[in-house]
Amino acid sequence: MHSPVPTTTPISLPPLPVSPEEVAQRGWDAVDVVFVTGDAYVDHPSFAMALLGRLMESEGYRVAILSQPDWHGCEPWRQFGRPRLCFAVSAGNMDSMINHYTAQRKVRNDDAYSPGGQIGRRPDRATLAYCQRAREAFSGVPIIAGGVEASLRRLAHYDYWSDKVRRSILLDSKADLVVFGMGERALIEILRRLAQGLPLDELRDIRGVAYRMGARETPPTHATIVLPAYEEVVDDKRKFAEMTRIAHCETNPDNARRLVQHHGREAIVVNPPAMPLEEADMDRVYGLPYTRRPHPIYGKQRIPAYEVVKDSIQIMRGCFGGCTFCSITAHEGRVIQSRSPQSVIDEVGRMREDPKFTGVISDIGGPTANMYRMNCSRPEVRAKCRRLSCVHPTVCKLLDTDHGPLIDLMRQARKQEGVRRVFVASGVRMDLAQRSRPYLDELARHHVGGQLKVAPEHSDPQVLHLMKKPPIDDFEEFSQKFNQASCQAGKKQYLVPYFIAGHPGSDLDSMIHLACYLKRTGYRPEQVQDFIPCPFDIATCMYHTGIDPMSGKKVYVAKKARERRLQRALLQFFMPENYDLVREALEKAGRTDLIGSEPDSLIPAAPPKNATKAAGARRKSQKSAEAAAGYRPHRKSAKRRG
């Protein structure tokens, strides 16, 4: 990434302007880019608008942030005047539908990316509304959509909230281009060409970009795969599974081919992904002059998502785990992109200069805590590889799993002056961690604050296989080694395992298997996850089609709300308020042998004294939360609408 004009970056800069007054204070008569986002503006590298905004600024472009605008009219889009180059549009750090709704399609009570956790500050399917308002505001200004929402909806996709297959977001949003993935390389190249006065059709060769072709245009054919058309994937679930399999097999930047999918007489073209950032690029992006704080316009209002990450440091990005229910690999890529140790230590130094810094780094990690500098040891093999996971069904023998660089970095970080503790709050990949006893010892002795997050997700072998997760034995072995390391460090520490209910392949029998496992091992999860089908994910394809797209085999799917509720209750069988649901599940599955007073019983024959009262309180709490949350503002009904 090279600057089109020579620039020098000061040690610190004010946040990017969010109002015409702040634009005027900078002496600008116009802006080059208006960055529209569904999140509150936080000038911290964990937030996309900050990272990309600062990068554009470093390239010499004038950038204004339009944060959480009122989408009911286009006036907010006009406040900065006509942008010279483009509108850059993002729904925010999350898909707006996942941000708004639970797995039960109920309205969430808060929005972690809004000041005060307020709901209703962005619309459903925010990318569509934001792009449409940008088009109304200034006809002819290029609209570049990106972020997780646009990235994962670039092709025809199953939408859980409307329970139907929707068209590519390019068609519904009318965006000129969609940048998928993390976006730095593609966005800067787009701006460079727009600044040169090139028309939009001369931006179509950029990697990491998807675009729409009209009925009179002919899609490219060289190094191109034609996917089943939109109409086919709507009518035929096997065609949908075929589309999903092909799309995921074409995500390695080293060998991915262009994808074309016809929607009626039009076509969506998805170029190969952008190449991953090199270490120097990562250092530059994360070394930009962030204030690491929310914009002052929010005053004392807390932004929950910021509170979680404000004292954290991201040392890498990407994940080669390939879990079928997770969008990280699809969005950030399988190639691990790491910062240099010096870059990380420099960030520690900048944090230390903040008078509000307490000396505690809350997390030093990334999507996974222990993949720093791990990549294929044979680049020439990686260039040909189409494997979706480097660790499933077994850890690839060519994967460099050396934890040495990470151990050295953790030691350097905690030895910095003014640093009291450095925690690891990111999830640890257990199958990798077990390969390095020094890492486990270092982790247990210095970097765990009493609890460590891990994600076994399930205990049933078939469900774990569909998730692309290791067997439950792997978790048990890791638990034993972690406990040993903690004891040797003279500490009593606990694992916090995460499990999922309702994942494709999981039926009542497999959830009862998991509940029995939890009873036997003594784990009582306070928080559990309900599977939410996210666009583009392989597990979402399984949910919609009942087919594993990678094998073509049928998969059981729990779609009815009642069964999903029973599965969730089984994960917390020990809670009095779940007694009736757990009993119903056991009776339905023919496992009444687990009801009684035997050591292996999940629940007693008679309900606990407080079971009925607790269940009533739970239902009342749910109704109160729904009434308080309502639906989106300006809608008359609290009923879900597709």
Give the per-residue pLDDT at 641. 38
- Token representation of residue 201: 């059709």
Give the per-residue pLDDT at 609. 81
d(CA 223, CA 178): 20
Greatest CA separation found in the chain? 77
- Percent of the chain exceeding pLDDT 70 equals 94
Q: Is the pLDDT of residue 614 over 90?
A: no
- Token representation of residue 174: 């009318």
Give the per-residue pLDDT at 638. 42
Domains and CATH numbers, the chain: 20-212 (3.40.50.280)
Give the per-residue pLDDT at 526. 84
Give the per-residue pLDDT at 436. 97
d(CA 68, CA 517): 45
**Mean of per-residue pLDDT scores for the chain:** 93
**Cβ pair 295, 42 in contact under 8 A:** yes
- Pure H helices in 202-340: 230-235, 237-249, 279-286, 304-309, 328-332
- Pure H helices in 359-403: 379-382
Q: Is the pLDDT of residue 6 over 80?
A: no
| Nearest C-alpha neighbor of 439 from the set 373, 390, 492 | 373
Q: Give the position of tokens 């054919």.
A: 221
- Token representation of residue 386: 């189409």
d(CA 539, CA 300): 40
Backbone φ and ψ for 86, nearest 5 degrees, come out as -170, 170
The mean pLDDT value for 418-430 works out to 95
| Nearest C-alpha neighbor of 74 from the set 145, 30, 126, 135 | 135
Q: Is the pLDDT of residue 636 over 60?
A: no
Give the per-residue pLDDT at 631. 40
The mean pLDDT value for 565-585 works out to 96
Give pLDDT tens digits for 223-269: 999 999 999 999 999 999 999 999 999 999 999 999 999 999 999 99
Give pLDDT tens digits for 72-98: 999 999 999 999 999 999 999 999 999
Q: How much of the chain is helix, strand and coil, in % rounded to 5?
A: 35, 15, 50
d(CA 423, CA 410): 9
Question: What amino acid is encoded at 75 in this protein?
Answer: E
